[in-house]
Amino acid sequence: MNLLPKIAVVAAIMLSSTLAADAQKVRVQEGNLSAIKGQTEINTEFTYEHVKVGEFDNEDDYIKKKTDDYNKKESGKGDTWAAAWKADREARFEPKFEELFTESAGIKAGAFPSAKYTLIFKTTFIEPGFNVGVARKNAYINGEAWIVETADKSKVVAKLSVDKAPGRMAFGMDFDTGARITESYATAGRGIGRFIKK
């Protein structure tokens, strides 16, 4: 039995994941991360204020346009899409970010209100991308990760910037917008986690 094709496929997937993680840029904008060394848990929060989406400076304008377009094609489809656009944050994006951060940083991320520090991930830009089979564009997100004291969130320990965290699935099986963006949050969580662990 020839295992070479299977090995090549596995290698391609691993390379794809590595390249995606390396494509983003994580930088310290303020403070330093020494305070969270040795922590075993970190509380997480996510904000989506003033998010720009694709060519739209206002997320609400993007949602309205997509909702109207989908409803014209099929009654109710746009409303279903709009509900999923918001629901995906808590259901898909945030858990995936926390999962990959935890794996990469060695610090458990999630709802830990008693943790000394909180990581607030502020999404500033979403490129939803597209995949229509014959043509595609990868999703990516930009954001900021603020590490603050949980007891007094005005006390900022460090601010990190995250630029162009890409989202795509192996073999181009990412026809769903939410799936592509979920992978962007996975990449961001992994990148921040690795950066903190260094």
Number of domains in the chain: 1
| pTM of full prediction above 0.95 | no
- In order of 42, 105, 133, the CA distances from 111 in angstroms are 8, 16, 38
Strand, coil or helix: what is 36?
helix
What is the signed CA dihedral for 65, 70, 76, 82, rounded to 10 degrees? -50
What domain range is 19 assigned to? 4-197
Q: What are the pLDDT tens digits along the chain (198 aa)?
A: 455 444 444 444 444 444 444 568 999 999 999 989 899 999 999 999 999 999 999 999 999 999 999 999 999 999 999 999 999 999 999 999 999 999 999 999 999 999 999 999 999 999 998 766 666 688 999 999 999 999 999 999 999 999 999 986 554 454 578 889 999 999 999 999 999 998
Measured CA to CA in angstroms, residue 178 lies from 11, 18, 153, 165, 166 at distances of 26, 21, 30, 15, 13
Burial 161-196 (b: 16+ CB within 10 A, else e): ebbbbbbbbeeeebeebbbbbbbbbbbbbbbbbbbb
Fill in the amino acid letter for 130: F
Query: Hey, is 138 helix, strand or coil?
Result: coil
